[in-house]
Structure 1
């Protein structure tokens, strides 16, 4: 593996004790940065990266099980971690920053375009330009790591794809980080399992136009996983198209999160096919518990959807929505003041505090019908001040165009005033 010789990063045992290197092992230094100290194989070592040094160079030299400590400073990078389970620790999300220099810059740098991470993302987006990798640049991207991944105490800024993303991880923990202005996801766990996304801050930036508003797909996403076992807890997500998005993802909990200023606060969506790493599978999205969150003031307007339907889904003012998914519990949440930024009659996705909806199949190369939204509990929530507090099925006149909800829908014990049907809130 090629290793540049300019970094001054140091490697040592976890106890901080450095290991002297025997003369007979000197040949091994040709594969390491010039001033790195070799501490033996097998992982479990610690690297320290200081300002002016390259995170990517140290990642390339590290092994699964190693820890990389990034000191306070600004690092202009997009880091690809290929098949390694690493722990990456910053000095704090306000002081350790991984930034992309110019959001509109084509990623024509050979060291970016040639990495497995960007190649994998480009393959997953066949409609993208194969010669332009700007859309596929993420702050920290873990591609099929061989062991657990942990990221704490860093911030990622302005990357045209994701802030912190893992594809194919078993054990993905992201805690006390900050993301700003990413165009896809702030934090993404894709076809991954045992994800823990805790106490992070995500802020979206609208870089679209008046006709094509867009501030990134979602602040936090759990996608394309039949066994997500995801725990999304105590995060603050503002200014994205979707605050927290569970798409083609099964088994997870969202609790004590704050989502505001998005187009949709929380969305659980059973699509017809996975997207990552490709569209060869179908996952029955659902089995999520959404408890004790606050979804308020999600009043942005954006265009949402995939491929041909993107321009058809005008979205604004939705607190929480369940689309086609099954076995979802929405309990003890505060869902208030989610109002459309445009005339609600112009929307193709209804503005409501809580919406339970069925969409016809689309994005559907496998010919799969995900079926209606089924087995949903909406209990003991405070749902107030929204364009419409509770919606079960599409409102007239759209109800004639979309399939009805399925069986076993229970809506009770909520504080709400307006609903369709009207009986959901007692008239």
Structure 2
């Protein structure tokens, strides 16, 4: 790479420290600027912990893998566009890790070690589109932040995280992706109990035109709040199963979930989807509160405003509390509880008209 392709800029705070004599100039955090036509992966490979890789407006045909703790990968908003390379596996100038990300069909991969989490990486202010699998995918991270990212038109997930803790997903837009716009899970391939996310946050995102807006699978201790979820086949899925510990002990609050009425055919795991707002299945001790859930219409077993669904593997939803939500225009019902009375799920203080069974409103 030429000097024109990557420019090193010392950040202001580090320079101030150097002038005060408290921080050597060599310790200054840098900004590495990728010029149009240059390689994002080369800049990422050259970066150290604390550095920022800035990607100006333009279209970049490559996959990018981040394995450096404390790195920020930042674009200039939606005008910074990352698309698949012209030839699979041909990410320009990158290490083998970048080829692996591309070969898997992903746009940006943030990858930690098997037994050591990659900490404090930020991906922000860019668009990732058209990848066969996932726009932004992460595994084995701690305190990953993904903010103001647009992930659209990807084959599976827009933004996804597995086997990670304390992630923050804020202010993103995910649309037109093949499965979930935002997908957080303990592990996709392994059968195991729910993982403690240690306070992961999904907030102020817009999820539209996906199969499912947000999926939280086999996780505990997180918050899904202040999101706008519309125009998907289903809005929000909180999914557990028969493994222990159960998914749950989490909060879904203050979301606007409206008109998720697209039709999506059945899969090996789920019946067809249409007209589904918020679903809890195989979960315990979840709090669903202060959400506005409106305008869902369908005849799927999962259709309705807020639905407690007994999973096909027989995992019950127990001791969840559905309170203080506003529901209207949902069919077959605003509130649907498919569990038995012994499951001790509580419905109170909700504004709604129709429930199954009757008496939940």
CA distance in 2, matches of 1:161, 1:406: 41
> Are 2:353 and 1:417 equivalent residues in the alignment?
yes
**Cα-to-partner distance string for 1:329-356 (whole Å, 9 max, x where unaligned):** 111111000112xxx2xx3x32111110
Q: Shift of residue 181 of structure 1? A: 0.7
User: How do 1:274-353 and structure 2 match up within 5 A?
Assistant: 284-303=246-265, 305=267, 309-310=268-269, 313-340=271-298, 344=299, 347=300, 349-353=301-305
CA distance in 1, matches of 2:334, 2:283: 20
Structure 1 residue aligned with 2:185:
223
> Contact 1:43/1:63 (CA < 8 Å) preserved in 2?
no
CA distance in 2, matches of 1:63, 1:406: 55
> Are 2:153 and 1:153 equivalent residues in the alignment?
no
Structure 1 residue aligned with 2:344:
408
Number of aligned residue pairs: give it.
339
Where structure 1 has 5 or more consecutive residues not aligned to the other structure, the ranges are 19-38, 122-132, 205-214, 274-281, 362-368, 395-403
- The structure carrying a bigger strand percent of its residues is 2
Instruction: Decide which of 33, 46, 56 is 1:71's aligned counterpart.
Output: 56
Q: Shift of residue 421 of structure 1? A: 0.5
**Cα-to-partner distance string for 1:10-53 (whole Å, 9 max, x where unaligned):** 123223999xxxxxxxxxxxxxxxxxxxx85x783221112111
TM-score, reference length from structure 2: 0.85
Q: Shift of residue 146 of structure 1? A: 3.2
Q: RMSD of aligned C-alpha atoms? A: 2.7
SS in 2 for 1:56: helix
Where structure 2 has 5 or more consecutive residues not aligned to the other structure, the ranges are 16-24, 187-193
**Cα-to-partner distance string for 1:194-219 (whole Å, 9 max, x where unaligned):** 11111111111xxxxxxxxxx42211
User: How do 1:19-418 and structure 2 match up within 5 A?
Assistant: 44-92=29-77, 94-100=78-84, 107-109=88-90, 115-116=96-97, 119=100, 136-144=104-112, 146-204=118-176, 215-224=177-186, 226-228=195-197, 229-272=199-242, 284-303=246-265, 305=267, 309-310=268-269, 313-340=271-298, 344=299, 347=300, 349-361=301-313, 371-387=315-331, 388-393=333-338, 404=340, 407-418=343-354
CA distance in 2, matches of 1:73, 1:283: 46
Q: Shift of residue 85 of structure 1? A: 3.8
CA distance in 1, matches of 2:61, 2:359: 55
TM-score, reference length from structure 1: 0.73
> Contact 1:43/1:64 (CA < 8 Å) preserved in 2?
no
The structure 1 segments of at least 4 consecutive aligned residues displaced by more than 6 Å after TM superposition are 110-114
Greater gyration radius: 1
Q: Shift of residue 407 of structure 1? A: 2.1
Q: Shift of residue 360 of structure 1? A: 3.7
Change (3 A) 1:166 1:422: same
